[in-house]
Amino acid sequence: MTVVSTRTYLFNCMLNIPITTQKRIVIVGSGFAGLTLAQKLKYSGYQVVLIDKNNYHQFQPLLYQVATAGLEPRDISFPLRKIFQKFNNTFIRIAEVSKIDTQEKVVTTSLGTVHYDYLVLANGASTSFFGMKSVEEHSIPMKSVAEALVLLNSILHNFEDVLVTSDQEVRESEMNIVVVGGGPTGVELSGALAEMKRYVFPKDYRELDCSKIRIVLVEAADQLLNGMSAASSKKAEKFLQKLGVEILLSTQVVDYNGRLVSFKSGESIRTKTLVWAAGITANLLEGVPTSSVVRGRRLLCDSVNRLQNANDIFVLGDTAYITNEKWPNGHPQVAQVAIQQARNLARNFVRLKKGQPLKPFRYSDYGSMATVGRNKAVVDLPFAHFQGLFAWILWMFIHLRSIFGLKNKIQIFINWVWSYLTYDQSLRLTFLPKDFRFRTKA
């Protein structure tokens, strides 16, 4: 008979997790890393507890299409319990994790506590505002489905207000959309908004002079898509300019009060819609050793993703900081890194169970890509760089292939075909109460 301590039993009962002789792996976060790890541990012989504040996995690379009425939230979201219906060793709990106790090996959540034998932190990252409280208070980030819907509702409500006001300053601020951040999210969002300005808004708002709509992309660096090749960066810039996007490079935001965004140069732009896609910071839990926290609040790990000085805690994805000769500043905070780390860690958990040495993580960079608009994308592969129609088709194929669920794939494909044939998006609906448009709207 297995002897279980009273303290462990109480910890287990809090979240109603069955007591078993299997070692327990608690995974915090169901993003690309956490979800992949839990899936790969199906036949591992461990008990797996997956904790997330949402009951779904969201496909973040397509959030901008939700924000521009191209896709519905359900198209890029997939229920966790449906994914793990046949995983008898996996238990899902929808809760927010507040802290960890590394001495007692306990995770504290909004539902109670749970004991772990191994803890995996895959809780991702949130938007970084670089200490600018006013920007944090008034801008719209792009990290979740809810924030994407806030942006869509904000834009549509602003244009409705423009129809009934004669105040030129108000009209100007409501027709200006400023996107801060020249990475993939900012570039893709700006391109999608520019296409709405060209093909959609003139039909919906016939009384407006839609040529007055300004879409401004602001980047602090001297080029867009810093993680990609110079050729792709230049081509993306040309694509956006052709679509009518104003691009401000080497331009740093210093303040935004909900009506006026100010730059370090002293210039400013009136806008009620400032989208912040300029930086991320790792989500840090209380109880994590402060000695392990490095730049961007990431956690210093060894080559097998084990937290520094913690044999039973592993870190994946945006939160993990692993350095080597090839990546002296850590790996890029992108989905492929998270997925590959999760796969390697799943194999290492099997090795750990067998008493075998763990294998270090080695990132295989398969390339990067970004879409700018209809028939316009840029792709960097290890062996080639190309842009235009073929890059756009490849971008669609890769993203469609990565979506969970056959129904979601079909629905997205139908929406894309419809938009391509009709030059229209049919999901321009506002559901949020007017009082909840966004905290910036006074």
Going along the chain from its start, the domains and CATH numbers come out as 6-53+95-127+281-354 (3.50.50.60), 133-278+374-436 (3.50.50.100)
pLDDT of residue 229: 94
Q: Once rounded to an integer, what is the mean pLDDT over residues 281-304?
A: 94
pLDDT of 7 strictly over 60? no
User: Between 389 and 13, where is the model more confident?
Assistant: 389
pLDDT of residue 430: 67
Per-residue confidence at 387, pLDDT binned at 50, 70, 90?
A: very high
User: Between 241 and 17, where is the model more confident?
Assistant: 241
Tell me the one-letter amino acid at 398.
I
Per-residue confidence at 200, pLDDT binned at 50, 70, 90?
A: very high
Containing H/E element for 376?
strand 376-381
Torsion region of 216: left, alpha or beta (phi above 0 gives left; psi -120 to 50 gives alpha): beta
Per-residue confidence at 432, pLDDT binned at 50, 70, 90?
A: low
Spatial contact of 98 and 110, defined as CB atoms under 8 Å apart: yes
Tokens of 12: 């287990």
User: Between 17 and 33, where is the model more confident?
Assistant: 33
What phi, psi does 331 have (nearest 5°)? -75, 155
Q: What is the DSSP string of 251-293?
A: --EEEE-SSEEEETTS-EEE-SEEEE-S-EEE---BTS-GGGB
Instruction: Quote the CA–CA distance of 158 and 154 in Å, as a whole number.
Output: 6
Instruction: Quote the CA–CA distance of 45 and 350 in Å, as a whole number.
Output: 8
pLDDT of residue 166: 85
Task: Give per-residue pLDDT as tens, 321-340.
Answer: 999 989 999 999 999 999 99
pLDDT of 440 strictly over 80? no
Spatial contact of 259 and 274, defined as CB atoms under 8 Å apart: no
- Residues in CB range of 194: below 8 A, 6 or more apart: 215, 240, 243, 244, 245, 373
- Residues in CB range of 315: below 8 A, 6 or more apart: 120, 121, 122, 299, 301, 305, 306, 307, 321
What residue ranges in 87-187 does DSSP mark as E strands?
A: 90-94, 97-101, 106-109, 112-115, 118-121, 125-127, 140-141, 176-180
Spatial contact of 113 and 267, defined as CB atoms under 8 Å apart: no
pLDDT of residue 390: 96
Instruction: Quote the CA–CA distance of 59 and 32 in Å, as a whole number.
Output: 8
Q: Once rounded to an integer, what is the mean pLDDT over residues 93-97?
A: 96
Beta bridge partners of 170: none
Q: Once rounded to an integer, what is the mean pLDDT over residues 80-97?
A: 95
Instruction: Quote the CA–CA distance of 266 and 91 in Å, as a whole number.
Output: 54
Give me the residue label for tokens 């400032």: 274
Spatial contact of 327 and 298, defined as CB atoms under 8 Å apart: no
Please give the positions annotated as active site: 188
CA distances from 422 to 195, 200, 416 (A): 12, 10, 10
Task: Give per-residue pLDDT as tens, 212-263.
Answer: 999 999 999 999 999 899 999 999 999 999 999 999 999 999 999 999 999 9
Instruction: Quote the CA–CA distance of 61 and 222 in Å, as a whole number.
Output: 24
pLDDT of residue 431: 62
- Residues in CB range of 357: below 8 A, 6 or more apart: 351
Q: Once rounded to an integer, what is the mean pLDDT over residues 169-192?
A: 95
Task: Quote the mean pLDDT of the chain.
Answer: 91
The reported pTM is 0.91
Q: Once rounded to an integer, what is the mean pLDDT over residues 389-404?
A: 94
CA-based nearest residue to 46, from 17, 80, 11, 79: 17
pLDDT of 3 strictly over 80? no
pLDDT of residue 439: 46
pLDDT of 285 strictly over 70? yes
Tally of residues, the chain: 442
Spatial contact of 61 and 42, defined as CB atoms under 8 Å apart: no
Spatial contact of 275 and 190, defined as CB atoms under 8 Å apart: no
pLDDT of residue 220: 96
Its sign, for the CA torsion 52, 58, 59, 63, is: negative
Q: Once rounded to an integer, what is the mean pLDDT over residues 168-179?
A: 93
Torsion on CA atoms 19, 25, 29, 34, rounded to nearest 10:
-130
Displacement of CA 124 from its chain's centroid (Å): 8
pLDDT of 307 strictly over 50? yes
Tokens of 327: 């990546």
Tokens of 404: 């969970």
pLDDT of residue 402: 92
pLDDT of 314 strictly over 60? yes
Please state which of the ranges 22-31, 332-341, 419-428 shows the lowest mean pLDDT.
419-428
Burial of 325 (0-12, 13-18, 19+ CB in 10 A): exposed
